[in-house]
Structure 1
Amino acid sequence: MRNERLRMLIVTALFAAIIAVLAQVSIPLPFSPVPITGQTLAIGLAATILGSRYGTLSVIVYLLLGAVGAPVFAGMEGGLGALVGPTGGYLIGFVPTAFVIGWYVEKFGFTVTHAIVANIIGMVITLAFGTAWLKVAAEMSWSVAIAAGVTPFLLLGVVKAVLAAVVGIAVRKRLASAKLMPTTV
């Protein structure tokens, strides 16, 4: 039991690092202060593979690293300024996103179909948090905030949700069969 918990904490830290690495896959958009990043894919993978508790913990570790100044956010940014700036709502939204994705697959089953549904719900949560904060932080109208913070991310967000689900379930099955993580979370 103790070794299993230690193993899960190590994997949780590994996923915090994976989120930080994929955050650097960043494509700036000329009409939005929010870039397209690999963070959302990493969040989906973490929650799909680790479940609600450890998936959410990996996101919290990632955010704490960034908050204390480690350059883990998109564009090698770090510090509290990133959390209160225009993209801060997306970053904070990753916490409930990871929890809901993990909770959904734990509740309904670790299948590709359920993981796709969970990751699409997670995408909506991230976009809702991010857009609401973007409106406030950048002093935008709702229509401008939605145009800059939701519309450009919908299609690619669905692609990343499906990818996180398919890869996440496959990796989870392999880790469980290799006894590197419990079959239930």
Structure 2
Amino acid sequence: MTNEQRRLRMMIITALFAAIIGVMAQITIPLPLVPITGQTLAIGLAATILGARYGTLSVILYVIIGAAGIPVFAEMKAGVSVLVGPTGGYLFSFIPTAFFIGWFLEKTSFTIKNALIANIIGMLITLTLGTVWLKVAASLSWTEAFAGGFTPFIIVGIIKAILASWIGILVRNRLISANLLLTIKSA
């Protein structure tokens, strides 16, 4: 397989993960300020499976598609107004979160233990940046922002981090075994 074919394959997989994030975003549990969604699980999966470069690119593509008006954000929302609204900080935070998870795994090793560490730290990155944005965008006090944008997501976030780590490493190993995914050394 040529380098061009490998890159094309990775671009297709990257686009597929952007679509998976959009589909998982529609799995929601409504809360007063910010819903619990499946998109954070999908972000963890993308970064755990694809690594820093392609995992981050899949998230950037997802944000661009949503900003362009395709309803891929939670609750079938789309547009720049969502990105500048109260939940926009969470959407933007997915980019450094995906990068960190992939980077951490590339610098250590793609094991379930390391993936769990990376995904839990990634969850904290998302919650921290999202909560700061929520405070500013919704004109909330720090207490209100923390109570509505951080605290309700800790337990669910840990569960999603466990799932993303376990499923992500399992799928990554199977894709590599089937020669369908580039490893970091050949990327």
TM-score by length of 1: 0.98
Instruction: Give 1:71's aligned residue.
Output: 71
Matching of residues 108-147 of structure 1 within 5 Å: 108-147=108-147
SS at the partner of 1:33? coil
Distance in 2, matches of 1:27 and 1:113, equals: 28
Per-residue displacement from partner, 1:135-184 (whole Å, max 9, x unpaired)?
A: 00000000110000011000010000010000000000000000001232
1:3-28: CA deviation from partner (whole Å, max 9, x where unpaired):
11110000000000000000000110
Runs of 4 or more off by more than 4 Å in structure 1?
none
Q: Distance in 1 between matches of 2:94 and 2:167?
A: 19
Structure 1 residue 68: Cα displacement: 0.7
Q: 1:16 maps to what in 2? A: 18
- Secondary structure of the residue aligned to 2:30 is strand
1:83-122 equivalent positions in 2, closer than 5 A: 83-122=83-122
Which amino acid in the other structure matches residue 13 of structure 2? V
Structure 1 counterpart of 2:110, one-letter code: F
What is the percentage of aligned positions where both structures have the same residue? 64
One-letter amino acid matched to 2:16:
L
After TM superposition, give the deviation of residue 33 of structure 1 in Å: 1.3
Aligned mates of 1:6, 1:126 — CA distance in 2: 30
Structure 2 counterpart of 1:33: 33
Q: Distance in 1 between matches of 2:110 and 2:7?
A: 20
What does the per-residue CA deviation read over 1:17-74, in whole Å, with 9 as the maximum and x for residues that have no partner? 0000000001101xx3100000100000000000000000000000000001100000
Give the alignment partner of residue 7 of structure 1, picking from 2, 6, 9: 9
Aligned counterparts of 1:124 and 1:140: Cα–Cα separation in 2: 20
- Partners of 2:85 and 2:28 lie apart in 1 by 17
Question: What amino acid is the match of 1:14?
Answer: L
Distance in 2 between the 1:12 and 1:77 partners? 22
Deviation per residue, 1:54-107 (Å, 9 max, x gap): 000000000000001100000000000000000000000000000000000010
- Deviations for 1:110-131, whole angstroms, at most 9, x for unmatched residues? 0000000000010000001100
Amino acid in the other structure paired with 1:23? A
For 2:74 and 2:159, how far apart are their aligned partners in 1?
20
Query: Which structure 2 segments of 5+ residues have no match?
Result: none
What is the DSSP-based 3-state SS (H/G/I as helix, E as strand, rest coil) of the residue aligned with 1:34? coil
Q: TM-score, normalised by structure 2?
A: 0.97
User: How many angstroms does 1:2 deviate by?
Assistant: 1.2
Q: Give the Cα–Cα distance (whole angstroms) in 2 for the partners of residues 116 and 43 of structure 1.
A: 13
